[in-house]
């Protein structure tokens, strides 16, 4: 999530923090903190490849109750496929040797863990959280949603430059679970090294291999093997979660109580978010699944020709149209009659606010980027992709599609400033190091994936629906929670619904899936009323699945 490219957050920071502001909200004070500056600069070792940690104390108030916690910021070393773990002493906390064994690559993965003081570890749920990208660090979920401090950004407009404001996060999930925010290999304060690290870490299966190692080492390091366990991923973090829960369950005998998906995409053939559907002719499903999000966006910006009826009943109507008349028309291709073509174009105008002539020139198939660019074309503005409530000046008013994301441009600086300030002043970690919000791995990412039950890696668009279904079949107690924003053009909410309803598993297991939708975008938590609802829904989900009640 940068100003020039987002996440496939597919994918998602905020605020410079003064010491006075931190004190006002009971900010963490150092306790038992080791001396990072000495460790980071001792000898000739790479300062990024130390498994030291900084421990601090803090408190957060949630729903009127004060929760005291200790935070641990540190590194865990993981390795690429084929590593001989008989030589791996890193789980003991020993620093990595200066020289990496020949033909091996390793990654130092940065994390921040929050543990509620006085809680019995075996009874206390623990949730592993991460963003997507691929190539995004976890500061978005950390500073915007569930950490003990939250950065303040404008709800749907540009956030002014620094100083930003960091406040007590009354919607932190620490009231329900201990939290572990994990930065993907190469992001945050983490780094990769050794021969061909891209081959070992920058791919769907390689990434899951690294995250699985991290979680197992973390469970051992902090004695959390018997805790109720949850995965919470956003954007590309959702296919990661599907693959990861299946990997940990079937290869390492680790069952999870629940998987929480925010802004999900499990099958990339369904995506219309960045216009790739245009290069996949004959596959029309992405246009159908994105239509309800186009309608919600046009409704929000007052562009529907029929006025502004209640949103949810309208979306139900559009969903039926998308899966019936619209789908049938697209599948007809050149066999569609002129009269039916005109009828469908008129209906699309009614549901999107786009000019009929534009829809006809697009052959009834409008990509997400084209919709962003065209909806507000009369004012030379483009809507946001991650959150279409946002709008900003079109970089090229005569262009075909939006060339940037107004939402990402509006808030990214605040998140980056917030975490960089917070990590050094509050967590006492990162002095002398660079924190990478995002790394440019999208173009080199290996999306090839070996699905469960397939003896070889498939060279095709990433589809992890079989992974999640396999995990749910092998552990019939596994619960899944799907959360989506109506104004998300990156991973349209109806795409998530469709994929869940088409998981290849017995129909009765559908009862293990919860669905929740919000008046927000991809980063659901940017809209505070949605964050409040999201927090309440996740707390209820954890409470109902930790098997202690």
Structural domains in the chain, CATH included, are: 19-269+412-545 (3.40.50.1820)
Contact 326, 284 (CB under 8 A): no
Q: Give the model's pLDDT for residue 103.
A: 52
Contact 254, 220 (CB under 8 A): no
Q: Give the model's pLDDT for residue 405.
A: 87
CA distance 275 to 123: 46
Q: Give the model's pLDDT for residue 13.
A: 34
Q: Give the model's pLDDT for residue 384.
A: 94
Query: Which whole-number Å values give the CA distances from 315 to 124, 308, 379, 456, 522, in the listed order?
Result: 39, 12, 26, 40, 18
How many residues are recorded in the chain? 549
Burial of 43 from C-beta contacts in 10 A (0-12 / 13-18 / 19+): exposed
Neighbours of 181 (CB within 10 A): 27
Burial of 519 from C-beta contacts in 10 A (0-12 / 13-18 / 19+): middle
Query: Which whole-number Å values give the CA distances from 519 to 262, 305, 401, in the listed order?
Result: 14, 21, 25
Neighbours of 4 (CB within 10 A): 11
Q: Give the model's pLDDT for residue 289.
A: 97
DSSP state of 448: -
φ/ψ of residue 311, rounded to 5: -65, -50
* Structure tokens belonging to residue 167: 């406040």
Q: Give the model's pLDDT for residue 217.
A: 97
Nearest-CA neighbor of 416 among 112, 13, 11, 135? 13
Strands (E), 403-523: 479-485, 513-518
Q: Give the model's pLDDT for residue 80.
A: 87
Residues 6+ apart with CB under 8 A from 282: none
CA distance 94 to 143: 30
CA distance 264 to 500: 10
Q: Give the model's pLDDT for residue 95.
A: 47
Burial of 358 from C-beta contacts in 10 A (0-12 / 13-18 / 19+): middle
First vs last C-alpha separation in the chain: 39
Q: Give the model's pLDDT for residue 280.
A: 82
Q: Give the model's pLDDT for residue 22.
A: 27
For the chain, list residues with pLDDT below 50.
1-44, 89-96, 98-102
Tell me if the pTM is above 0.85.
yes
Q: Give the model's pLDDT for residue 274.
A: 56
DSSP state of 326: I
CA distance 132 to 137: 8
């Amino acid at each position: 999530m940068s100003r020039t490219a987002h996440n496939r957050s597919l994918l998602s920071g905020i605020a410079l923090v003064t010491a006075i502001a931190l004190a006002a909200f009971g900010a963490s004070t150092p306790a038992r903190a080791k001396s990072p500056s000495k460790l980071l600069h001792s000898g000739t070792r790479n300062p990024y490849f130390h498994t030291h940690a900084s421990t601090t104390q803090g408190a957060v108030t949630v729903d009127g109750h004060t929760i005291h916690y200790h935070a641990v910021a540190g590194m865990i070393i993981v390795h690429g496929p084929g590593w001989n773990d008989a030589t791996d002493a890193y789980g003991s906390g020993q620093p990595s040797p200066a020289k990496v064994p020949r033909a091996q690559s390793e990654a130092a993965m940065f994390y921040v863990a929050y543990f509620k003081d006085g809680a019995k570890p075996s009874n206390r749920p623990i949730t592993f959280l991460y963003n997507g990208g691929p190539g995004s660090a976890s500061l978005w979920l950390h500073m915007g949603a569930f950490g003990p401090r939250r950065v303040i950004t404008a709800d749907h407009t540009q956030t002014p430059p620094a100083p930003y404001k960091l406040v007590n996060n009354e919607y932190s999930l620490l009231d329900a679970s201990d939290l572990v925010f994990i930065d993907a290999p190469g992001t945050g304060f983490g780094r990769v090294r050794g021969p061909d690290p891209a081959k070992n870490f920058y791919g769907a299966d390689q990434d899951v291999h690294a995250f699985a190692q991290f979680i197992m080492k973390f469970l051992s390091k902090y004695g959390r093997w018997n805790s109720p366990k949850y995965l919470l991923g956003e954007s590309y973090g959702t296919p990661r979660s599907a693959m990861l829960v299946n990997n940990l369950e079937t290869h390492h005998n680790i069952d999870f109580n629940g998987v929480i998906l925010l802004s999900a995409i499990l099958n990339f053939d369904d995506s219309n978010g960045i216009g790739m559907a245009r290069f996949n002719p004959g596959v029309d499903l992405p246009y159908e699944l994105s239509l309800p999000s186009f309608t919600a966006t046009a409704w929000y910006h007052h562009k529907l020709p029929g006025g502004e009826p209640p949103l949810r009943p309208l979306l139900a109507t559009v969903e039926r149209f998308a899966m019936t008349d619209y789908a049938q028309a697209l599948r007809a291709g050149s066999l569609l009659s002129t009269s039916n073509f005109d009828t469908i174009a008129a209906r699309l105008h009614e549901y999107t606010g786009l000019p009929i002539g534009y829809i006809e020139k697009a052959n009834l198939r409008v990509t997400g980027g084209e919709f962003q660019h065209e909806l507000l074309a009369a004012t030379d503005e483009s809507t946001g992709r991650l959150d279409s409530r946002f709008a900003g000046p079109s970089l090229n008013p005569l262009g075909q599609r939006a060339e940037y994301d107004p939402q990402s441009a509006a808030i990214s600086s605040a998140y980056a400033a917030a975490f960089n300030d917070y990590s050094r002043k509050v967590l006492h970690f990162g002095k002398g190091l660079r924190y990478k919000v995002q790394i440019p791995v999208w173009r080199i990412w290996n999306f090839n994936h070996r699905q469960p039950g397939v003896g070889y890696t498939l060279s095709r668009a990433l589809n992890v629906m079989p992974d999640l279904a396999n995990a749910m079949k092998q552990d019939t107690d596994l619960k899944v929670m799907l959360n989506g924003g109506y104004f998300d053009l990156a991973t349209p909410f109806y795409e998530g619904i469709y994929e869940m309803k088409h998981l290849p598993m017995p129909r009765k297991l559908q009862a293990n899936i919860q669905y929740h939708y919000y008046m927000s975008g991809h980063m659901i938590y940017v809209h505070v009323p949605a964050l409040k609802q999201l927090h309440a829904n996740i707390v209820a989900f954890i409470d109902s699945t930790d098997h202690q009640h």
